[in-house]
């Protein structure tokens, strides 16, 4: 960190660090205040956003440049998915960067983060519906309502994950359980076509090089979930992984790798199954895709606005009681 003109670092001393936020389990040193937050902003974005989000943005723009967007309706679900994959790493990076500015800012930043993750969940469902469904389930009732229920899941998941933050101090275990459930449920729903394809209805057209990437995606997602829930490795050596190598950092690394594997699998399925899908599957209409995205945004933003307003309805004495 570059020193200020007074010879001191721009970050406040350990004694002046913000102490009202609940720390993750087994992490002993704390969050910085707003001054340090703004000082590390360029560094934080360079590490968290540029490396991950810029990569997915590059993939998205590269695909966009070689696609006839107006006429190639077969590519629309892919573009929605790739666009969503650019949004959630950026939202997560912003949430982690600005979360130490104030108590309410912390919660609102993560509300937006949860909304972005659920938007990505919907993007995955749209791409899965278009390219990944096994032969035996194409054009079934499950296939017809798959995206519609994925939209509903985004609303439930965003609401549940936002609500869990109100339990963060008083009931941390229940908070963690609800948050894991909030993201595990839509992921499980989105992945049902993958599970069915790998274990129940393989189908001739679904047996291709994408299968290995789907398996790697599932493995990385399970590893990310395990690290997030188990608090490893900091559980084994509290205080030694406060800044580098703690479970939340490893969780983000695994999630980004899982997204990369998922993207490769979807791209392969889109290419290798194109002839079969165009002959046997009904493509998603523009109105269906746009309607799903619009409803997702309305539901998620409504949840975020509601829970953000609820933060300011908590009486000040009760607020201090919860944070001490």
Of 79-88, 93-102, 197-206, the range with the highest mean pLDDT is: 79-88
CA 57 to chain centre: 15
Is residue 250 in a domain? yes
Task: Give the HSE-up count for residue 191: Cα atoms under 13 Å, Cβ half-sphere.
Answer: 18
Mean of pLDDT over the chain = 83
SS3 content of the chain, % helix, strand, coil (to 5): 75, 0, 25
Least Cα distance to 2 among 44, 33, 30, 40 occurs for 40
CA 81/CA 324 separation, integer angstroms:
42
Burial of 312 (0-12, 13-18, 19+ CB in 10 A): exposed
Greatest CA separation found in the chain? Answer: 71
Domain count, the chain: 1
Residue 286, pLDDT score: 96
Which of residues 8 and 162 earns the better pLDDT score? 162
Q: Known binder of ligand: residue 248?
A: yes
Residue 314, pLDDT score: 76
Predicted confidence (pLDDT) per residue in 32-54, tens digit: 444 554 444 444 443 455 577 78
CA 127/CA 292 separation, integer angstroms:
12
Q: Known binder of ligand: residue 252?
A: yes
Given pLDDT bands bounded at 50, 70 and 90, which one contains residue 291? very high
Plot region of 29 (φ>0 → left; ψ -120 to 50 → alpha; else → beta): beta
Q: What is the DSSP letter of 23?
A: P
Predicted confidence (pLDDT) per residue in 56-76, tens digit: 999 999 999 999 999 999 999
Is residue 259 in a domain? yes
Q: What is the mean pLDDT of residues 247-270?
A: 92
CA 158/CA 189 separation, integer angstroms:
15
Residue 63, pLDDT score: 94
pTM of the full structure:
0.83
Predicted confidence (pLDDT) per residue in 298-311, tens digit: 999 999 999 999 99
Predicted confidence (pLDDT) per residue in 78-94, tens digit: 999 999 999 999 998 88
Is residue 227 in a domain? yes
Least confident segment among 122-126, 153-157, 244-248, 270-274: 244-248
CB count, 10 Å around CB of 305?
Answer: 12
Q: What is the mean pLDDT of residues 230-241?
A: 76
Residue 18, pLDDT score: 36
Is residue 96 in a domain? yes
Residue 99, pLDDT score: 75
Predicted confidence (pLDDT) per residue in 131-182, tens digit: 999 988 999 999 999 999 999 999 999 999 999 999 988 888 899 899 999 9
Q: Known binder of ligand: residue 107?
A: no
CA 97/CA 109 separation, integer angstroms:
9
Is residue 5 in a domain? no
CA dihedral 317, 28, 230, 234 (to 10 degrees): 170
Tell me the CA distances in angstroms from 48 to 44, 97, 107, 108, 249, one per residue in order: 6, 9, 19, 19, 10
SS3 of 212, please? helix
Q: Note down the domain range covering 235.
A: 40-62+72-323
Contact (Cβ atoms closer than 8 angstroms) between residue 239 and residue 25: no
Q: Before 236, cis peptide (omega within 30)?
A: no
Contact (Cβ atoms closer than 8 angstroms) between residue 299 and residue 155: yes
Residue 29, pLDDT score: 53
Given pLDDT bands bounded at 50, 70 and 90, which one contains residue 204? low
Which helix H or strand E contains 115, and what residues bound it? Answer: helix 103-131
Residue 4 has pLDDT above 50, yes or no: no
Is residue 257 in a domain? yes
CB count, 10 Å around CB of 51?
Answer: 13
Residue 24, pLDDT score: 56
Residue 194, pLDDT score: 93
Is residue 2 in a domain? no
Q: For the chain, what percent of residues have pLDDT higher than 90?
A: 57
Q: For the chain, what percent of residues have pLDDT higher than 70?
A: 80
SS3 of 198, please? helix
Is residue 31 in a domain? no
**What would the two tokens of residue 35 be?**
């001054």
């Amino acid at each position: 960190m570059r020193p200020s003109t007074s010879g001191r670092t721009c970050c406040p001393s350990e004694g002046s660090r913000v102490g009202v936020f609940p720390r993750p389990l087994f992490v002993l040193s704390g969050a910085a205040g707003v001054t340090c937050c703004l000082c590390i902003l360029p560094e934080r974005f360079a590490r968290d956003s540029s490396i991950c989000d810029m990569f997915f943005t590059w993939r998205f723009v590269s695909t966009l440049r070689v696609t006839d967007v107006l006429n190639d309706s077969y590519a629309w679900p892919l573009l929605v998915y790739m666009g969503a994959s650019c949004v959630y790493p950026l939202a997560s990076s912003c949430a982690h960067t600005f979360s130490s500015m104030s108590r309410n800012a912390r919660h609102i930043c993560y509300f937006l983060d949860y909304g972005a993750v659920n938007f990505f969940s919907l993007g995955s469902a749209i791409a899965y519906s278009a390219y990944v469904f096994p032969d035996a389930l194409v054009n079934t009732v499950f296939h017809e309502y798959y995206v519609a229920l994925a939209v509903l899941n985004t609303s439930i998941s965003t609401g549940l994950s936002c609500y869990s933050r109100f339990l963060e101090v008083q009931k941390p275990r229940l908070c963690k359980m609800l948050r894991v459930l909030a993201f595990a449920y839509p992921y499980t729903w989105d992945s049902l076509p993958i599970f069915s394809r790998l274990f129940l209805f393989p189908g001739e057209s679904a047996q291709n090089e994408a299968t290995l990437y789907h398996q790697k995606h599932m493995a990385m997602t399970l590893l990310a979930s395990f690290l997030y829930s188990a608090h490893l490795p900091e559980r084994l050596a509290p205080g030694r992984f406060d800044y580098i190598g703690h479970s939340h950092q490893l969780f983000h690394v695994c999630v980004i790798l899982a997204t990369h594997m998922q993207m490769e699998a979807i791209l392969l399925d889109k290419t290798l199954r194109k002839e079969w899908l165009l002959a046997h599957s009904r493509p998603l209409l523009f109105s269906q895709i746009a309607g799903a995205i619009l409803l997702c945004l309305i539901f998620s933003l409504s949840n975020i606005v509601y829970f953000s307003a609820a933060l300011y309805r908590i009486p000040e004495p009760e607020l201090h009681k919860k944070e001490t």
